[in-house]
A = this chain, B = another copy of it.
Amino acid sequence: MTRKEFRDLADPEDAHAAIANLDLSPAPETVPLRESRGRVLAERIDAEMDVPGFDRASMDGYAVRARDTFGAGEASPEELELVGEVHAGSEPDVVVGDGEAAEISTGAVMPDGADAVVIVERTEERDGTLVVRDAVAPGDSVMLAGADVAAGARALGPGTYLTPREIGLLSALGVDEVPVRGKPTVGIISTGDELVRPGDPLNSDAGQIYDVNSYTVATGVEEAGGEVVLYPHAGDDYEEMERILVEAAEECDLVLSSGSTSASAVDVIYRVIESRGELLLHGVAVKPGKPMLVGTLGGENGDGEDGDGENGDGEDGDGENGDGEDGDGENGDGEDEAPGSASAYVGLPGYPVSALTIFQTFVAPAIRRAAGLPEPRTATVTGTMAARERYGEGRLRLMPVGLLEDEAGETLVYPVDKGSGATTSLVEADGVVEVHPDTEYLAAGESVEVRLFSPDVRAPTLLGVGEDDPALSRLLDRLDAPRYLPVGSREGLRRLRGGVPDVAVVAGPTDRDVESVDLGGWTREWGLVVPAGNPADVSGLSDLVAGDLRFVNRDANAGLRASLDAAFEELAADRGTTRRDLTAAVDGYELTTKATESPARAVLRGKADAGLGLRATAETLGMAFVPVGEESVRVRANPDRTAKESVEAFSTLLADTVVFDGLAGYESD
């Protein structure tokens, strides 16, 4: 296995410049007006016709010669002879002469002879005669042809973003096809032998995982105004990777590769780019930009296998570009790629949060520019740090952060995902704060600007941390946009003491005293979850200590684990021994899992004979349950946040016992 080390990391500004210099701009295209919302005009549109195209009655009433009404009033009505009617949408079959009038509806063509409309409310019809009680001037209640838009006038300029109102104006002009900026076509290549597309079967034993980055980046591209072509998954094989990258370069304005965190997959891409394109940057001096690649792919620079025969290998080059027809057939966008033109290429890091961070920071702005779209107004928010954050790494850091609101509705910012590469960080992090290399720390209360992961990202209304619990899940379902991090009771309390979360949900005994306001809670029955029918005839903790059962435990942050340890403590006291001695005898005591259902699921899969868990979980999964005890679950609020609407809503919900219905072993306050 050869491994390539990253050297000479580029300056982030140089990375921005390198990407800005890449040509991602597609040719303009024409779309039906009806489908033009969100597109950007490629050229100015002048009116080709008058709107309205005729002198138009703007009120219901009677078309008259204005001079025939001079002097008319309530006290001195004029009488005119009714000579016909004109309806909207039909050609007048009447001419209005001296002393005459024609009934007319709003929007109808003014008949020849008439120069004004008397509104219906100021008239009366009497035996074929019209009584007019108002004098009108020429042009009254008439919109002249071209008065709205005149033929030849500039209607909308190039670069106009089309919203319903612009579409309305273009409708009025009879425009049914609009010249718009093309959407840059972005090819996404997922790499790494271990990746499987969501929906396909997964073999965990073979180390397969679902491909997270392809859909994340694809939808990010669409959000930025690009059109996506997803290429079939490429493994770490050089030939296959080369074939797919070259095909993508022919069909797309930009190719992104993303997915694998393994050095070998990255290395294969690196070699393909070096041989079939031009590598402009390899690694950027920004955390997490080290694995980032920027280059061009295909085109004349990249024809030769060895990269040195720029024009010497014309046949190869032609052959490749001739393949563009294939591309056309597949995605219909190939036609704007000039023969021999290179596609831009950016390689994203493998960890999902890193991939999205690098994409949003460096790539999305380039896609928007190519599409002619403005920076979204909601792309950034300003907030203050919820707690002090040390840094001082000497490298620009794009720090993933979560948002929440304080009691006054001000935005608070806290760091998440300190390099764990966890997928869950994707939904915990709302955006990124740029921390400059010479920053030693960010103080609590310091103002920071957060670039959101998406213009549609919103701060959650409530930030909760703590125990994972099925009743809690139901409660959360009833709150508007909460965020809950199931970090366990112990870690939850630690975070509550740090002052960031709004609430912590704490189960079982705790050894830590944290100032908080109790919002309410419930009790839940816990014990050992065993297979249906309890085949091993487990009766309690003593059976675990006896040592012939395989057990699965919870991690040290779990309230359930604290209750279990307390029960072992009691049992040890009964037996005149230590808890440590007892638990050392339990086969699997150190085998810890992260969520409430995890031990029970391990038992279900035959990996163990008994798991730490809840009666409710056993019932849900159709398993048997050996009760050991009850533990209290408390919702504890941050004292600075009790007036928050969401905290109050949570408190109110706790009083509604309906969420506990059907949860075995649960009792509300």
Contacts and interface: CB of A to CB of B under 8 A. Distances in A.
Interface of A: 1, 3, 33-34, 37-38, 44, 46-47, 49-54, 56, 58, 60, 85-91, 103, 105-109, 120, 143-154, 156-161, 163-177, 192-199, 202-220, 222-223, 230, 235, 260-265, 350, 352, 356, 374, 377-378, 420-424, 426-427, 429, 453-454, 456-458, 468, 473, 476-477, 479-482, 484, 486, 593-598, 601, 617
A215 B456 contact: no
Q: Is the contact region of chain A dominated by helix, strand, or loop, or is it mixed? A: loop
Contact of A595 (B150, B170, B173, B595): B150
Given A90-B207, A423-B168, A174 B157 contact: no
Contact of A210 (B153, B174, B377): B174
B151 A595 contact: yes
Given A56-B207, A90-B193, A601-B152, A198 B175 contact: yes
Contacts of A156: 427
Contacts of A222: 37
Contact of A171 (B58, B106, B211): B211
Nearest to A206: B91
B216 A164 contact: yes
A177 B175 CA distance: 39
Contacts of A377: 378, 458
B262 A106 contact: yes
Given A107-B207, A157-B477, A597-B152, A89 B193 contact: yes
Contact of A356 (B151, B165, B209, B423): B165
10 contacts: A54-B205, A89-B208, A89-B235, A91-B203, A106-B262, A109-B205, A146-B598, A165-B457, A168-B212, A170-B198
Given A85-B1, A209-B52, A164 B60 contact: no
Contacts of A260: 88, 107
Contacts of A265: 88
A207 B108 contact: yes
A264 B47 CA distance: 30
B163 A176 contact: no
Given A161-B456, A164-B356, 15 more contacts: A53-B209, A107-B262, A150-B597, A152-B601, A152-B617, A154-B476, A160-B481, A164-B220, A165-B216, A171-B211, A171-B214, A172-B212, A176-B197, A176-B199, A374-B458
B37 A223 contact: yes
B107 A192 contact: yes
A616 to B, nearest CB: 11
A167 B215 contact: yes
Q: Which 9 A-B pairs have the closest CB atoms?
A: A152-B597, A176-B199, A53-B204, A150-B595, A89-B194, A89-B193, A168-B216, A109-B207, A163-B454
Nearest to A194: B89
A105 B198 CA distance: 23
A522 to B, nearest CB: 17
B481 A88 contact: no
Contacts of A52: 204, 209
A426 B154 contact: no
Contacts of A147: 422, 594
Central interface residue in A89, A173, A196, A211, by most chain B CB within 10 Å: A89
